[in-house]
Structures are given as C-alpha cells and as structure tokens.
C-alpha cells in the first residue's frame, strides 16, 4: 500500500491567484481561487502588469484561506507544487517565488507543473484515469488533442495552427461588444439564438487532427462589419449560435475520429472552454453511441485553479520528480 501524501498547489499563470490542498492526487481538501476578471474587464483582456500586481497582493491571503479551509498545518504537507509554464512570465514568477520561499522555509520538496497537465488532471479529481485516453484541451491559449498511454506521458496528435478556441471566443465577443471573458457570454447568447449563418469549418483534410480558427474568426468579424456598413440589423444571438456551432462541430468531429483511431478507453475534456455548454452536450451526444465515456470536470475545475496543479503534481511526487532551486517561469513550456 502506498503512503498517503498531501500536496499544496499554487497557480498564478494568468488572471487567477489560486491555492489548493489535495490528498493523494484525488481528494480536494481546499481549493481557493481569487479571480481578477473585474480588474481586466475594462481593458477587454488580461493586462500582464496588472495580473502580476494582483498576484502579489493576493497570494498570501489565498494561501492562508486554503489552510483554513483544509484545517491542516504545515506539518501535514508533503510537497509544494507550482505552475512553471506556459503563461505570462511575470504572473508565473509570483507563484514560483512564493512556492520556492515556502519550500525553503518549510523544508518541503518543490514540484514544477505544466499548466495543461494540470487542466488534464482536473478530471482525476472526479474519475480515475484508464489508459490509453484522449484529452481534448481547449483554453484561452491552447487547442490540442493529446494521447496519454500512462500517467505523465503526453503525445500531441493535433493542435491549433493559429488561434486557440478560447481566443476565438474572446475576439468574437469583443467584436459583438460583449465584456471579457467572452466565452461564457457567447455560450449564454448561443442558447437563445438560431444557427442561421453558415460560417466556415476548417477540417484541414480527412487525416488531420489539427485545428484552425482564424478563418472562422475573420468570417464572423467580416459578417458583422458588412452588416454594420449596410446599416442592417444583426442578431447577436444568431451570430453567437452560428459561431459556436462551427467551433463545436470541428472539436467534436476531430475528437471522435481520434478516439476511434487510437482506440481509447476514455475521452477527457480540459481547459476553460470545457465549461462551454454547447461543447459538453455535443461531445456527450456524439459518444453516446459508443462505449467510450466522456469525462468533463465541473465548471469550477475547468477554468484555472490550483487543485488541478496539485493533482498533476501527485504523479511527479510519487516518482520523486522534484524541481531544483533554479526553477523559473517558462512562458512557452511544451507539454510533450
């Protein structure tokens, strides 16, 4: 029998300051997230300088709250995990320096975690993994299909050639005058609109598991401009529904094909766009004719949090994969 282990996780790669305490990679003892969305809203996106400042202000408050909720002391913590990349370098460094200082002061091993590995492991807080599994990662910075044959091993089988799905959502939302972050706004509008506009779907050939959303993004923006120039009325709801249908169709079809090609036992969905109601429904419907379960975390575990970072770190802890003192923020860290 393996000994229990408790990991403190820290996540500051973008605009959430988050600390969580997780037992054995699966059991949430506390999970605290301080979101900065309100501060970035008026700029229409995340301002890196402001993000870093907020992380500095929030990190100790969030850390104390995580201990308070878990009702634990430092003696019970076995390791400290932190997101080392990818992300905004100034934001990453706040978490990393907090983790290093705590690791040194409390004599606990330090673990560097890839942010996307974290999004994938958010699913393990709910359901145990069965390999091989296929992960669809859809966030503000990533759109990837990753095959996992074992814990901690990742093979990239497809990725976006241009914009990430979340980025496309945020840009379309901005063109429609909706506040940041645009994903949830478009998702909400899409459910009251009709798919009346035939926006393009980039299939990139039968064999490709890559994605491209820049053509779709331009098509939607051009549609809005043309309508405005002609002083014709637009239906934000129908644009949202039609745009979302294009994104969801491509994500669902490619995930389905890849799951069959690699004969996977599970499909897991990760990242902020996994919160999308249209995508969740489409994937569940598509796979309902197969024996492959589709795992999607609850919404609060889809967007950035530290529970997922500590969950991913659990595998590294068991393998004694600890980080050196010169651990640094890596804005473009690769998963594979």
Q: Which of 298, 269, 272, 312 is nearest to 84 (CA)?
A: 312
- The secondary structure of 24-86 as a DSSP string is TTTEEEEEEEEE-HHHHHTTTS--HHHHHHHHHHHHHHHHHHHHHHHT--GGG--EEEEEEES
The partner in contact with residue 303, picked from Zn ion, ligand KG4, none with C-beta cut-offs of 5 to 8 angstroms by kind, is ligand KG4
Which position among 303, 309, 313, 329 is part of the footprint of ligand KG4 (CB under 6 A)? Answer: 303
The partner in contact with residue 297, picked from ligand KG4, Zn ion, none with C-beta cut-offs of 5 to 8 angstroms by kind, is none
User: Least distance in Å: CB of 75 to ligand KG4?
Assistant: 33
Residues 294-313 that bind Zn ion (CB under 5 A): 304
- Specify the stretch interacting with ligand KG4 by CB under 6 A; choose among 47-55, 70-78, 163-171, 211-219: 163-171
The partner in contact with residue 170, picked from ligand KG4, Zn ion, none with C-beta cut-offs of 5 to 8 angstroms by kind, is ligand KG4
Query: For residues 278 and 165, what is the distance between their CA atoms, to the nearest angstrom?
Result: 13
Choose between 102 and 267: whose C-beta lies nearer to ligand KG4: 267
The angle subtended at Cα 226 by Cα 224 and Cα 232, nearest 5°, is 85
- String marking each residue 130-159 x if it binds ligand KG4 according to CB under 6 A: ---------xxx------------------
Choose between 169 and 256: whose C-beta lies nearer to ligand KG4: 169
Residue 178 · residue 243 · CB < 8 Å? no
Positive or negative: CA dihedral 113, 119, 123, 126: positive
Residue 212 · residue 160 · CB < 8 Å? yes
Residues 168-207 that bind ligand KG4 (CB under 6 A): 169-170, 181-184, 187
Tokens at 149, concatenated? 């044959």
Query: For residues 81 and 61, what is the distance between their CA atoms, to the nearest angstrom?
Result: 18
User: Least distance in Å: CB of 273 to ligand KG4?
Assistant: 4
From the number of C-beta atoms within 10 Å of its C-beta (0-12, 13-18, 19+), residue 125 rates as: buried
Which position among 85, 95, 158, 272 is part of the footprint of ligand KG4 (CB under 6 A)? Answer: 272
Residues interacting with ligand KG4, by CB under 6 A?
14, 139-141, 166, 169-170, 181-184, 187, 271-273, 275-276, 303-304
């Amino acid at each position: 029998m393996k000994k229990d282990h408790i990991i403190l996780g820290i996540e500051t790669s973008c605009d959430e300051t988050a600390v969580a305490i997780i037992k054995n990679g699966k059991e949430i003892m506390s999970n605290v997230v301080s979101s900065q969305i309100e501060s970035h809203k008026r700029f229409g996106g995340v301002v890196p300088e402001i993000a870093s400042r907020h992380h500095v202000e929030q990190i100790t408050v969030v850390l104390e709250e995580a201990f308070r909720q878990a009702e634990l002391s430092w003696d019970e913590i076995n390791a400290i995990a932190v997101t080392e990349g990818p992300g905004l370098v100034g934001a990453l460094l706040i978490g990393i320096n907090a983790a290093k200082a705590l690791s040194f002061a409390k004599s606990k091993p330090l673990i560097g975690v890839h942010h996307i590995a974290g999004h994938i492991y958010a699913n393990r807080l709910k359901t145990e993994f069965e390999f091989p599994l296929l992960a669809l990662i859809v966030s503000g910075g990533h759109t990837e299909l990753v095959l996992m044959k074992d814990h901690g091993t990742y093979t990239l089988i497809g990725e976006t050639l241009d914009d990430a799905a979340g980025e496309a959502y945020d840009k379309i939302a901005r063109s429609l005058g909706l506040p940041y972050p645009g994903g949830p706004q478009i998702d909400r509008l899409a459910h009251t609109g009709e798919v009346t506009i035939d926006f393009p779907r980039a299939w990139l050939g039968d064999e490709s598991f890559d994605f491209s959303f820049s053509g779709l993004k331009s098509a939607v923006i051009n549609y809005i401009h043309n309508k405005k120039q002609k002083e014709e009325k637009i239906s934000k709801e129908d644009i949202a529904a039609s745009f979302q249908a294009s994104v969801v169709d491509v994500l669902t079809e490619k995930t389905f094909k890849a799951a069959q090609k690699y004969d996977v036992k599970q499909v897991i969905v990760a990242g902020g766009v996994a919160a999308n109601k249209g995508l969740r429904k489409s994937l569940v419907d598509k796979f309902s004719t197969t024996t492959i379960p589709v795992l999607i975390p609850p919404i609060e575990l889809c967007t950035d949090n530290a529970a997922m970072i500590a969950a991913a770190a659990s595998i590294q802890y068991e393998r004694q994969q600890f980080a050196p003192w010169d651990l640094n923020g890596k804005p473009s860290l690769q998963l594979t």
